[in-house]
Structure 1
Amino acid sequence: MNDNDKRQSPENGGGNPWMKSLLIWVGILVALALFVMLLDNRSPTTGTAPIAYSTFLDKVEAGGIKEVNVAGEVITGTQVDGTKFRTYSMPGDNKLTETLRKNSVVINAKPDEGAPFWQIMLINSLPFLLFLGIAYFVLRQMQKGSGSGAMGFGKSRAKLLTQREGKVTFDDVAGIDEAREELQEIVEFLRDPTKFARLGGKIPKGALLVGSPGTGKTLLARAIAGEAGVPFFTISGSDFVEMFVGVGASRVRDMFEQAKKSAPCIVFIDEIDAVGRHRGAGLGNGNDEREQTLNQLLVEMDGFEANEGIIIIAATNRPDVLDPALLRPGRFDRQVVVPRPDIDGRVKILQVHMKKLPLALDVDARTIARGTPGFSGADLANLANEAALLAARKGKRLVAMAEFEEAKDKVMMGAERRSMVMTDDEKRMTAYHEAGHAIVSIHESASDPIHKATIIPRGRALGMVMRLPERDSYSYHRDKMYANLAVSMGGRVAEELIFGYDKVSSGASSDIQYATGLARDMVTKWGMSDKVGPVEYAQPEGESFLGYSSSQPVRMSNQTAQLIDDEIKGIVQGGLDRAKHLLSEHIDQLHRLAGALLEYETLSGDEIKKLIADGDIGRIEGGPASAPVPASGTSIPKTRRPQGPGPFSNPTPQGA
């Protein structure tokens, strides 16, 4: 069936939509013309001039009337000069006929029959027909969004995705191998149900995909349908709830009725927390529309009537707010965690998206993956797309590593602000600030290696030092934490050593915020203070739901609180002293690196190492072009980093 046949088929509405609209407007115009014609026919005579009855009598006596037509009280006729006229006689005027005959006026009389019966009925029924037409139009418009039929509100809005619309398999899903293994059993059941039935096993009725936004929950559900080759219904949790009572429950019933006709099949409910929240959380008696919808969903999933062959897969990033009855065995038997990918997973995801791009030979997926810790699958897809757009903007035929690096910096910190004008003093201050971070990082053995240093403004940052870990870290050691504290203080110490105590700027605000947060976690969460001991004093961070918090408020004496504050200050001060010792010992390297940053603006990690070792960055002619130095003359705000952990350091560790 070609596209034209599809448009003409009854399933698609039948006929050409443009022709249907034309016929509707033609019908409206015909109805208006008929209405005007009926009104025109009701008038006694057209083309006549009305005159007063007294004027008519005067003209009759003066001999000015030639002929009259009498129909009840309506008198029409012709004057001697040929002019048509119309008037109405006085009721009970018996002398009119005598006056007309006396003045030799031709009299034509006919009974007053009025309008035909069908015209009267049609005119009287026009308001009702108009009302019925408006009601029909409104119902048709509502049926388009709520299903077919006059009572289409309760129809399910689930969309059936077939394999013709783009088949997705597990080959298109990378970086979440454990989640794939969890769901492989569902695929095998849909392919061969008897394999499990022979041993008395039952396939889970539902699987709940839990993960952060962008980790690939929807893509994974489509891959299950693609691997099994079965119909795939998709619907959002918000599509169930309406302003009308009972609509959500009706749509749940209708959705399962559709799924039964296509069984075995998969029903995917995205953002199920919109309808599956904990019951009793609302105001009043809790018997609202959302809870009725949830109750119906619970009954359909595990009620008296078995729905064999229907597997429910739901996705949410808020499993803590779901109703416990929804998560019990027999409904959503499994909770599959879809985490953010590790470095190996990021490499696989990047390779999937890079298949569509013409790549240069210098592109290394693992290097890009090292520089994108915490990125989800959607973030990596956006990164590859940004790199392709940058290459196209530059007129290149291949996407090189330079485009991926620029796209990564743009996604993480914003676009370059080369239009920002900096004074020479501020450029010099920024160069020494970033050089201080880099020099301390090089001489701290526990620090991650430097990937890049730049003084080009991005977003709210005037410069940055980016370090890339060799691998993903799931726990942090004490020596690395102390190294990160020293690196975070390197910028402020460099400003004080070079420009003096009174010239220290506010550029280290986010550095101080990061160092303070890290030190507080070391003291209150991880027991890394000998004076405080291995006791947790952190404030509760658990999510409060229905007035209950998973963590209770911390109770401590004033002496303990003072001791914690002193320990936090001592740890941060220790990092400051460590940075001051290293920079004072290697002051010549600090001057050398700051000068190179002022000249080239951006240096790679290898160039920085070569500069420290040999005194030359080793950049050859024809290599990466140095960025133009911004003109001087306009000052900018003294904010060198966005809020949160600085770009020179790893995110604050969440556990030991």
Structure 2
Amino acid sequence: MAKNLVLWLVIAVVLFSVFQNFSETKPRDELSYSEFVHEVQDRQIKEIVVDGMYIRGIRQDGKSFSVVKPSLPDLELMDDLIENNVEVIGAKPEQTSLWQQLLVASFPILLFIAVFIFFMRQMQGGAGGRGGPMSFAKSKAKLLGEDQVKTTFADVAGVDEAKEEVQELVEYLRDPSKFQRLGGQIPRGVLMSGPPGTGKTLLAKAIAGEAKVPFFSISGSDFVEMFVGVGASRVRDMFDQAKKQSPCIIFIDEIDAVGRHRGGGHGGGHDEREQTLNQLLVEMDGFEGSEGVIVIAATNRPDVLDKALLRPGRFDRQVFVGLPDIRGREQILKVHMRKVPMDDKVQASIIGRGTPGFSGADLANLVNEAALFAARANKRLVTMEEFEKARDKILMGAERKSMVMSEKEKENTAYHEAGHAIVGRIVPEHDPVHKVSIIPRGRALGVTQFLPEEDKYSHSKRGLESNLCSLFGGRIAEEMTLGFDGVTTGASNDIERATNIARNMVTKWGLSEKLGPLHYGEDEGAYPGMGAPQYSGQTSNQIDEEVRSIIDATYAKAKQILEENRDILEAMKDALMEYETIDAEQVDDLMARRKVRPPRDWHNNDFGDFGGNSEKGGNSKTSDSKPSIGKPASEH
């Protein structure tokens, strides 16, 4: 109120001064001093007023005039004025108006009030009440108005089931009476979980954009500070703001930062994180209801959230936002392709089929990388060739063209990658080989890329053992060609991944006949890495023995495959030394012991080709495993 009074007072003074200036007498006609003397002598002047350096007066005909006095004194002027009957009037002191006197008198007081208001607002965090030294207890939630949220469901693709789950939230926010007539209550909170990059935040914005309601956005880590009680205060302040804007949506991203299980024993009875969680529980379903305020939260770790947070009345609806299938990937690509000039031959369906396991964020990055490749080549349109290059860069890393390798190092890398490819082509239920390259990419000296033919939803024991065989193919190829003393450290990543798969087969997936379908894990407690094994020392020895037996069996199988196909290993090594990169068709020639065809020219059907028909034993089974983005199936 004080700020408004000061503002209106300043506006009133300014307007009064402007009107007063407009009401003044119009400027008088200016005369030169010599003209003025002549008119005095001709008896044309009636009266004058001497005001400092100016002489103002009125002629006999009633017209006004003004004259600037010269710097030299005119001693005869007064005699001429008296002689010609000119009335001389002394200068009147300038009278200050009442408003001007009031403004001058009140200026120190107004200045003090303005300075006081400025410093108080700064202490409270500036114009928005944020960021000042006394604002640590204020909520850091960013408010987006009804017209600021431009995202709609048309911008969200590939998550049709999740959109259906939240559709009734939009209907409720638009017309609450539709549900209240039948006594129905809309969910107080919606928890969206799923892998990173699947569009959880985008879906929350789309809900606000469709419903045309205010949207509060905050991260879970913004609540917790080093001062005890700050997080709880911020929760209260956020809900107070939201109730004033209801109906509205509060979106809490990464809620696992504040919503983890309580009772870990860390931080004592006044653990800041637990106080914040307790206040959040009370605000979502306490004595004071939050009618019209819907809380949407997103997390990648729903398993670590406190049970009280997930009960009905709080987050009483959980929506899983998973990785898109082939149809979802096509829809997502079409959304992102609208912003990029595309060649007519670019087909989103082919690209979607060639990117299994990609999330929405990965596909957005794919389109962006393809556009960058086209820009570097000074092309006006993005073609399928750029998408192929972009996919290889995402899956295998950027080419390190400046890295110079010796012929011996290149030959060793060629043997290593050929070993991965040959074993991967022969073992059953393994993903087809897409490309084999000895061009350094990322941190790898060479890459063997496997791409699944379809989206996968499960793994069989046979398929996992085949993966182990192909992982050891590179090391075995080095051992066969260089001897055990010549084996390099290039297989370190393969050995690490193979050991993790074998241990998970025994301890988590129940794929060991000796130990059976039991889970041999660790009790993590409230914090990871703080738990202890849930099995005895004898069982631990049995686990180690079983893991070793799985590794030994798959290692021996891979070695047998390469010994039986030693000629293919040598031929593939020669092809890699000649072409540096070979594709699925060239691998087919090598496996059939035919002459290797040269690299083919690019054409638009290449993107959808995952290596042709696999000449492997066993049937290829679909499963739901996402290839590691940025981590090729095998790298040296």
Same fold (TM over 0.5): yes
The Cα offsets for residues 288-324 of structure 1, whole Å up to 9 and x where unpaired, read as 6655554444333223333322212122334344443
* Contact 2:250-2:296 within 8 A present in 1 as well: yes
Aligned-pair CA distance for 1:368: 4.4
In structure 2, the partner of 1:631 is none
- 1:301 and 1:528, CA in 2 relative to 1: closer, same or farther beyond 3 A? closer
> SS at 1:286's partner residue?
helix
How does 1:363-402 map onto structure 2 within 5 Å? 363-366=346-349, 368-369=351-352, 372-402=355-385
The Cα offsets for residues 127-164 of structure 1, whole Å up to 9 and x where unpaired, read as x9999998765434333447459986665443332353
In structure 2, the partner of 1:35 is none
Q: CA RMSD in A?
A: 3.8
In structure 2, the partner of 1:586 is 565
Distance in 2 (alpha carbons) for counterparts of 1:197 and 1:306: 16
- 1:621 and 1:416, CA in 2 relative to 1: closer, same or farther beyond 3 A? closer
In structure 1, the partner of 2:123 is 142
How does 1:246-645 map onto structure 2 within 5 Å? 248-279=231-262, 281=264, 286-287=269-270, 291-361=274-344, 363-366=346-349, 368-369=351-352, 372-530=355-513, 532-536=514-518, 538-540=520-522, 543-545=524-526, 553-557=534-538, 563-613=542-592, 614-620=594-600
- 1:547 and 1:265, CA in 2 relative to 1: closer, same or farther beyond 3 A? closer
In structure 1, the partner of 2:186 is 203
RCO comparison, higher one (Cα < 8 Å, 6+): 2
- 1:607 and 1:367, CA in 2 relative to 1: closer, same or farther beyond 3 A? farther
> SS at 1:164's partner residue?
coil
- 1:550 and 1:400, CA in 2 relative to 1: closer, same or farther beyond 3 A? farther
The Cα offsets for residues 437-472 of structure 1, whole Å up to 9 and x where unpaired, read as 212222224221111111011122111111111122
Which amino acid in the other structure matches residue 437 of structure 1? H
Distance in 1 (alpha carbons) for counterparts of 2:352 and 2:416: 27
* Contact 1:216-1:377 within 8 A present in 2 as well: yes
Distance in 2 (alpha carbons) for counterparts of 1:290 and 1:621: 59
Distance in 1 (alpha carbons) for counterparts of 2:239 and 2:378: 52
Distance in 2 (alpha carbons) for counterparts of 1:416 and 1:425: 20
* Contact 1:280-1:286 within 8 A present in 2 as well: no
* Contact 2:447-2:632 within 8 A present in 1 as well: yes
Distance in 2 (alpha carbons) for counterparts of 1:566 and 1:246: 51
Distance in 2 (alpha carbons) for counterparts of 1:381 and 1:645: 15
**Range with bigger deviation, 599-608 or 142-151:** 142-151
Distance in 2 (alpha carbons) for counterparts of 1:226 and 1:405: 35
The Cα offsets for residues 548-592 of structure 1, whole Å up to 9 and x where unpaired, read as 9898522152xx655544443333233233223322333332222
How does 1:234-253 map onto structure 2 within 5 Å? 234-241=217-224, 248-253=231-236
Aligned-pair CA distance for 1:247: 5.5
Aligned-pair CA distance for 1:225: 1.3
Distance in 2 (alpha carbons) for counterparts of 1:489 and 1:245: 53
1:176 is aligned, of 148, 152, 159, to 159
In structure 2, the partner of 1:60 is none
Distance in 2 (alpha carbons) for counterparts of 1:304 and 1:148: 28
The Cα offsets for residues 568-618 of structure 1, whole Å up to 9 and x where unpaired, read as 333323323322332233333222222221111112212321444441325
Distance in 2 (alpha carbons) for counterparts of 1:412 and 1:158: 36
Which amino acid in the other structure matches residue 570 of structure 1? S
- 1:325 and 1:495, CA in 2 relative to 1: closer, same or farther beyond 3 A? closer
Aligned-pair CA distance for 1:251: 4.5
- 1:562 and 1:183, CA in 2 relative to 1: closer, same or farther beyond 3 A? same
Distance in 1 (alpha carbons) for counterparts of 2:357 and 2:292: 37
- 1:647 and 1:236, CA in 2 relative to 1: closer, same or farther beyond 3 A? closer
**Range with bigger deviation, 257-266 or 137-146:** 137-146
In structure 1, the partner of 2:174 is 191
- 1:264 and 1:166, CA in 2 relative to 1: closer, same or farther beyond 3 A? closer
Distance in 2 (alpha carbons) for counterparts of 1:548 and 1:590: 43
Aligned-pair CA distance for 1:220: 0.8
How does 1:83-98 map onto structure 2 within 5 Å? none
* Contact 1:435-1:594 within 8 A present in 2 as well: yes
* Contact 1:484-1:649 within 8 A present in 2 as well: no
Which amino acid in the other structure matches residue 604 of structure 1? D
- 1:262 and 1:462, CA in 2 relative to 1: closer, same or farther beyond 3 A? same
* Contact 2:253-2:299 within 8 A present in 1 as well: yes
* Contact 1:266-1:310 within 8 A present in 2 as well: yes
Aligned-pair CA distance for 1:213: 3.3
Distance in 1 (alpha carbons) for counterparts of 2:545 and 2:272: 54
- 1:277 and 1:476, CA in 2 relative to 1: closer, same or farther beyond 3 A? closer
Give unpaired runs (5+ residues) of structure 1: 1-9, 15-125, 625-642, 651-656
Which amino acid in the other structure matches residue 501 of structure 2? L
> SS at 1:382's partner residue?
helix
Aligned-pair CA distance for 1:326: 2.9
Calculate percent identity across the aligned residue pairs: 59
Aligned-pair CA distance for 1:493: 2.5
Distance in 2 (alpha carbons) for counterparts of 1:285 and 1:477: 46
* Contact 1:277-1:323 within 8 A present in 2 as well: yes
In structure 2, the partner of 1:647 is 632
Distance in 1 (alpha carbons) for counterparts of 2:255 and 2:189: 12
- 1:273 and 1:528, CA in 2 relative to 1: closer, same or farther beyond 3 A? closer
* Contact 1:215-1:378 within 8 A present in 2 as well: yes
Aligned-pair CA distance for 1:381: 1.8
